[in-house]
Structure 1
């Protein structure tokens, strides 16, 4: 027990009192006991890492595909299946899901984020207002580049709920910086009430043009509504 504490093997420690009597009673080979104990430690660490990655992601509601009804979504089933493979993330492609409120955009993006974490990837979640806060926080000491570098450690970055209101200048800057930093290096998933082609209606035209050019290059665009969608 003391050695498991020194070696930081908490999951082995929890199993010792049950597994050692079982191994003795069933006359396990010593190598089998070692294998089972190490497997328990590995499984415990994997589960702890999963919890930690979910916590760091900052998901808002805990919505996963377990509570997603693909038959009620306006996203075509074939499109759902293709995106759920997550292959587009490994190719550093983007996803833009566009449509009115109540069509499952945020749920879909969050469920994809959870699926990415379960597949061993890292994810982080932002609203457009979060990006404005980020810019203001790091402008004082000119550390925005470092902040973006930390965000880019994630395999998938999700920005939720763009287009309901005009984007504040700080948020527009933060969104552009994020898209520029991720361009052909990381995958972005963006949900919006407004198609990216219309972003110049809610943010400065120059920033909108530069942002959309990078965002839509190598991107999957899914347009949702109450009854059907097109890709």
Structure 2
């Protein structure tokens, strides 16, 4: 079984279960930065099995635009993106999760996309690498997206847009009683405001009424 890891960085466990007893020794609980600095010797000495995608090679040239070659199993897709922006720390490792009381011959593995980068933590960065490359190729100078008031997608989009010198406009859904109030600086809102994103609030009722309308692409007018 392969599970994507926690974008929010939290996991809920029974008080009787210790974190150290279920995560493999290859995962540093006290220092995530050490986990980011895996080397070949650490992997070979670890009692846990660490697997990485064979098509991904370590890449530390952040924010660079690079040509994209799809893996063989995706080569039939049409259209195939021609380029992507390197926005994350890839590849991320796969760790075996030593859960207690698993059925016999059952293994659980975690794809550690929470290590893809501090500001863009999680799997959101994977799609943004392609979406923003396409936007820049079409001459876009701003990005507009929508999500919940504490949307991880919106936070990641705001940070990625800042990296690429694009203006970012976030339309955030909230309750009707809060739509005319300042949303504050809590959680993802703090990060979004730190990177200069433009924030507009919309009530859930208004979004339900008009937010899912389908427009022509490219739009005839804005």
TM-score class, shorter-chain normalisation, is under 0.3
TM-score, normalisation: structure 1: 0.23
Calculate the TM-score normalised by the size of structure 2. 0.24
Structure (1/2) with the larger strand percentage: 2
| Greater helix share, structure number | 1
